[in-house]
Amino acid sequence: MRSHTSAVANLGSNADNDGAADGVGDGNGPSSSPSSSSASASLLCPECGQTFRRREHLSRHLDRHSGRRSHACSICKRAFSRSSGDDETILVAQPIADGDVSPAPTPPCQNLQPITSQSCVSDQPPLEPDLLWDALLTPAQFLFPFSPATSLGVGISTDFCFGDTALATVVEPVDDQSVQNSFGAKATPRVGVEAVGVITGPGNLTAEEEDILIAEYIPHVPPMTAETRAYMLQAIKARLPQHEAQGLEANFPSLRHLDAYMQLYFEHFHPRMPLLHKPTFQASPETWQLVLSVLCLGSRYSLAHHHHDHVLLLQLIAQHMLKRDIQELSSNDVLTCAQSLLLFHQSQWLSGERSIVIEVQFYRNILVTLCRQLLSREGTLMHTHTSAEDANHAWSQWIQAEAKRRIIHFTWTSECLQATFFMLPPLLSIAELQTPVPTADAYWSSSQEQWHLLPPPQPSLTICALLARVGLGDVVPASLEQPAKSTILLSAIVQQAAESDLLRAMGLGSVGSTASQPGLALGMGTMLSQKAFDALSQAGCSQMLRETDAGTNSNDFALLSRVLSICSVTPLRLLNPYGKWQTTDAGHSKARSELLNIIPQNVSRARHCLYYAAQVLQHFRTMRVATVLDILSVLICVLYMVVYADIFEQQDPNSAGSGASTGTSNTEIIRLDQVVNIDLLNGWLEVRNHKRPHIAGVGLLHGGRSVPRLYKEASRIMATGSSVSRMAKEMSIILESQAEGYPPDLLNHR
């Protein structure tokens, strides 16, 4: 049992359903100041067996059992008692010892009260207009790819449904009649005021919490100031309904926590998406919304006891901040608005809840519109006059231009990822991106002094021009940065998929030879995209998968190359229904029929894809899945392995089938995740030998029990990212249920 200060981060998982933390000066025990704390390491409750480190906490806990518990507000210094008769809790203000009597009863400071499935009862009054956004936080299934369909039934299928439910694993159930709003005002608190003080008061950190924050703190940017925190808090409260804003201040993270979360963003997320200019980044009141978006992502990487509560609170705030007036958007700095929107979107994706991600789809249009303003194409509605500000300051002018390139670049990348993994058509056109790709990260990460010492950056081409150059030359220029390669790779597969979808909608099948239209010719654009994709994916698959360290280039190009190579052979429109995810019986049968025609036609390519999938799985056996790309990459590789085991191994006459693995000698297998003999591997990839594929954590891949073992290993891998992403947590549950042969009932896991 951890102390009360750490229990706040584990609401819902603590054995004491009334909350492990109690208020300061509640009237039944001494103050919880360090001088009055008991030094005992373990004090046992005779009623429930729970242990406490401080004697006064045990005393107040015993008062809970007897129903006599009262508490005082550390802000207004008024004591409050509770009625034990009715289901409703009536808060009565009482003067404290100093005689300070208030003219009107005032509710105490409250902690966060998220809306959960238990709070949504039939007799609950309808939501007020100002509370409609809170309705999005009720339990929901994440239907992948967002299209409702009939499942196949127990033991047959599963849905892509992973709900955040307001991070219910870290928040305990709330009494139906106690929830009034999402920020805790006018609600029965689950934790006392002392716990709130620990969150907000910089002097009330425990030694353990202090050690965690110190260990996590790696200074990348100047620290946040108290002025910025205060301004941000007031700005957020001003945009919330009054009844929502009342409980915010008591629950808002302390300055120490906010500063740590900001640094964690630049430590973990920034290397994967170098959107912001780190050398000049400064948290200030003027950029508070951008800072808030940084905090939403950075808080996910913390191990502090309260970070789960903070992630939930910041997520709720972010959802409300996204609902901004169009006039406000058009009057503010377009670049900063676009940057904050993109980062908010990334954070909301990690929540993994369908309602939240569906909401993000509405705001994609706003982000794309802001990017079109930055593109400022002449002769279009979005054309704007460029400002001559800082014209004499080369560095500042370059930073501004490069920042615009990067927001457009990463927005397009995000659009391509959604088109590839979720089959949501991009809202931008690649032809619109008439802006050069971002400059090398060596320039972007340099200080002013370092930047002036570097040689002038070479002029960059647009994505379309680079795609054509790679497609025409079948070679990848050595000067291309990894993010640019990733973007061109994604652009190429999106263009191919668009033409394939169009032809299929016309009833002409896919490009290439078809039964109805033999020898159907590729369009010039698609042909260039296909050649560019082949050249780039080959280059990326030859690179080693490694962890992205702070200050280094992202390794996403190597990961994307492997995953997209798999998607190019077995599209997700077939992989998903074959795995019985979000489909019907007819959809599953149709996908199986198509895959039976695809895979046996090119055994070598199918084996290459299996090799890539094994590499990705091995990589994430030791590395934490931390982004949406990581999570979906693991999932796609697992689904492909299932297809390979079920179809290819059974169809291949040279395969040993599903015989007992114990009778297989070492000379008959090939370990795809630990290759020692390159000649042996090349011979297997080129179908010159027929060794049986072996994957660590799974064993021999065949049509027998290897599929449940594969699901179980994937579930373990997904669980490593549960501290960062609720999506990873729920995906782990789904895959574990798949291993057991039936779809999950997620409500039992919340």
126: pLDDT strictly greater than 60: no
From 148-157, 221-230, 648-657, the region with the lowest mean pLDDT: 148-157
Q: What is the pLDDT of residue 608?
A: 94
Q: By three-state DSSP, how is residue 220 classified?
A: coil
Q: How far are the Cα atoms of 228, 285, 341, 375, 444 from residue 290, in angstroms, in the given order?
A: 12, 10, 8, 21, 19
From 8-22, 33-47, 213-227, 383-397, the region with the lowest mean pLDDT: 8-22
Q: What is the pLDDT of residue 356?
A: 83
CA 81 to chain CA centroid, Å, is: 42
- pLDDT interval class at 189 (50, 70, 90): very low
Q: What is the pLDDT of residue 385?
A: 57
- pLDDT interval class at 659 (50, 70, 90): very low
- pLDDT interval class at 718 (50, 70, 90): very high
Structure tokens at 90: 């009536």
Q: What is the pLDDT of residue 387?
A: 54
User: What pLDDT digit, counting tens, does each position of 661-696 carry?
Assistant: 445 555 688 888 877 788 889 999 998 888 889 888
pLDDT, mean of residues 46-60: 73
pLDDT, mean of residues 455-479: 86
Q: What is the pLDDT of residue 703?
A: 60
Q: What is the pLDDT of residue 383?
A: 59
pLDDT, mean of residues 406-432: 93
Q: What is the DSSP string of 331-376?
A: HS-HHHHHHHHHHHHHHHHHH--HHHHHHHHHHHHHHHHHHHHHH-
Asked if residues 206 and 198 have their Cβ atoms less than 8 Å apart, the reply is yes
From 414-418, 448-452, 661-665, 734-738, the region with the lowest mean pLDDT: 661-665
Please tell me the distance from the alpha carbon of residue 102 to that of residue 579, in angstroms, as a whole number. 64
Q: Phi, psi at residue 585, to the nearest 5°?
A: -60, -45
- pLDDT interval class at 235 (50, 70, 90): very high
Q: What is the pLDDT of residue 657?
A: 46
User: What pLDDT digit, counting tens, does each position of 293-352 carry?
Assistant: 999 999 999 998 888 899 999 998 988 888 776 667 666 789 999 999 999 999 988 887
Q: What is the pLDDT of residue 514?
A: 40
192: pLDDT strictly greater than 80: no
User: What pLDDT digit, counting tens, does each position of 265-298 carry?
Assistant: 999 999 999 999 999 999 999 999 999 999 999 9
Q: How far are the Cα atoms of 273, 318, 346, 383 from residue 297, in angstroms, in the given order?
A: 12, 11, 8, 32
Percent of the chain with pLDDT over 70: 65
94: pLDDT strictly greater than 60: no
Q: What is the pLDDT of residue 58?
A: 76
- pLDDT interval class at 618 (50, 70, 90): very high
User: What pLDDT digit, counting tens, does each position of 2-17 carry?
Assistant: 444 333 333 333 434 4
- pLDDT interval class at 77 (50, 70, 90): very low
Choose from 32-46, 472-486, 506-520 the range with maximum mean pLDDT. Answer: 472-486
Q: Which residue has better confidence, 599 or 448?
A: 448
Neighbours of 74 (CB within 10 A): 21
Please tell me the distance from the alpha carbon of residue 667 to that of residue 670, in angstroms, as a whole number. 8
Q: Phi, psi at residue 334, to the nearest 5°?
A: -65, -45
pLDDT, mean of residues 591-608: 87
Q: What is the pLDDT of residue 480?
A: 84
Q: What is the pTM of this model?
A: 0.70
Residues contacting 509, CB < 8 A, separation 6+: 503, 515, 516, 517, 520
159: pLDDT strictly greater than 80: no
569: pLDDT strictly greater than 60: yes
